[in-house]
């Protein structure tokens, strides 16, 4: 009876380790979303500068703010993935 309980606990902990790996993998996908967002934002800013070259400084400043927010999201996702694996 005790042996079967220990076996059950060990198998449950093995399943939890597998779920931790899945959670870390999902958290790491935030880099994919950030990469797509950065690519789209950069493309749109190039289009905007091509249409209005005189507004280049304004467009560039707004682009940089957006890129910082997108990259911060990716960094948070990687940080959460690492925490999930460590803990």
Contact residues for 27 (Cβ-Cβ < 8 A; gap 6+): 77, 78, 80, 81, 84
Instruction: Give the pair of three-digit tokens for residue 9.
Output: 């606990």
CATH class of 21-86: mainly alpha
Q: What pLDDT is attached to residue 57?
A: 94
Where do the domains of the chain lie?
Answer: 21-86
**pLDDT by position in tens, the chain (length 87):** 554 555 545 455 555 666 777 777 777 788 888 889 899 999 999 999 999 999 999 999 999 999 999 889 888 888 888 887 777
Instruction: Give the pair of three-digit tokens for residue 81.
Output: 């993935």
Residues 80 and 24: their CA atoms lie apart, in Å, by: 7
Taking the whole predicted model, whether its pTM rises above 0.85 is answered as no
């Amino acid at each position: 009876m005790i042996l079967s309980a220990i076996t059950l606990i060990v198998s449950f902990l093995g399943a939890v380790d597998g779920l931790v790996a899945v959670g870390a993998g999902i958290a790491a996908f935030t880099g994919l979303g950030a990469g797509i967002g950065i690519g789209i934002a950069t493309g749109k800013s190039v289009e905007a500068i091509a249409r209005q070259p005189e507004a280049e400084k304004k467009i560039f400043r707004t682009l940089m703010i957006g890129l910082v927010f997108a990259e911060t999201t990716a960094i948070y996702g990687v940080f959460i993935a690492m925490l999930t694996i460590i803990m």
